[in-house]
């Protein structure tokens, strides 16, 4: 069974993290909510999130670790030395990592975006380009870099696309869930 972790930090964009948890759990992926510093996380819009566990060495056991964005949440992720060390190990081991919205600033600071194709929330590319000057910023909804095992996305409205991209990187067919959640209908009628 595939396993995923979504790391939540105070000030995170709640919908970006919960969309990933929701979609992956619907698909039968064991998905744990992991708090950066505690099990209780206060999101950017003051939604209290109760996580399953707190960041520790178990992050090395997941098939993918995903970060939601939110400016403050992303800055908190970026500032954590413990998280940085774990994510660097994951990257060195060729494991999937994902970040959306502002959170790619954390992956850039950790060196995970070096030489990788990625995207992020408009304006945050200025920070990612400073910390990952060899990375390749793209202005698309989601970017999956298979070589560097990195998945990124733009912002709250792209959260489902991000979640589906994560599932697809894990080798899961998302056709039925996209139909069932009316994602295909939405995409065809915008």
Q: What is the pLDDT of residues 131-184, one digit of tens each?
A: 999 999 999 999 999 999 999 999 999 999 999 999 999 999 999 999 999 999
Q: In terms of CATH architecture, what is 3-188?
A: 3-Layer(aba) Sandwich (3.40)
pLDDT band at 190; cut points 50, 70, 90 = confident
Q: Which pLDDT score is estimated for 183?
A: 95
Q: Which pLDDT score is estimated for 69?
A: 98
Q: What is the mean pLDDT of the chain?
A: 98
Inter-CA distances, 111 with 73, 85, 108, Å: 19, 11, 5
Helix (H) or strand (E) run with residue 53 in it:
strand 53-54
> What would the two tokens of residue 133 be?
């000057």
Could you tell me which of 80, 78, 85 has the C-alpha nearest to residue 109? 78
Q: Which pLDDT score is estimated for 173?
A: 98
pLDDT band at 46; cut points 50, 70, 90 = very high
Q: How far is residue 63's CA from residue 95's CA, in Å, rounded to a whole number?
A: 7
Q: Which pLDDT score is estimated for 156?
A: 98
- Does 83 have pLDDT greater than 90? yes
Q: In what order do the strands lie in the sheet with 64-67?
A: 53-54, 30-35, 3-8, 64-67, 96-100, 150-153, 142-145
DSSP symbol at 132:
-
Residues in contact with 156: Cβ distance below 8 Å, sequence separation at least 6, in sequence order: 13, 15, 16, 101
Q: Which pLDDT score is estimated for 38?
A: 98
* pTM (two decimals): 0.97
High-pLDDT (> 70) share of the chain, %: 100
């Amino acid at each position: 069974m595939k396993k995923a972790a979504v790391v939540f930090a105070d000030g995170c964009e709640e919908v970006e993290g919960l969309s990933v948890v929701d979609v992956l759990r619907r698909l039968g992926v064991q998905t744990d909510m992991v708090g950066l510093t505690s099990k209780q996380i206060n999101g950017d819009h003051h939604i209290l999130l109760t996580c399953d566990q707190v960041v520790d060495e178990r992050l090395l056991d997941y098939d993918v670790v995903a970060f939601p964005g939110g400016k403050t949440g992303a800055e908190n992720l970026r500032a954590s030395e413990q998280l940085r060390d774990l994510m660097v190990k994951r990257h060195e081991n060729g494991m999937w990592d994902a970040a959306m919205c502002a959170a790619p600033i954390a992956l850039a600071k950790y060196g995970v975006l070096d030489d990788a194709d990625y995207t992020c929330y408009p304006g945050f590319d200025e920070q990612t380009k400073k910390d990952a000057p060899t990375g390749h910023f793209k202005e698309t909804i989601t970017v999956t870099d298979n070589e560097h095992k990195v998945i990124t996305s733009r912002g709250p409205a792209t959260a489902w696309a991000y979640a589906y991209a994560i599932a697809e990187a894990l080798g899961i067919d998302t056709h039925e869930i996209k139909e069932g959640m009316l994602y295909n209908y939405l995409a065809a009628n915008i």
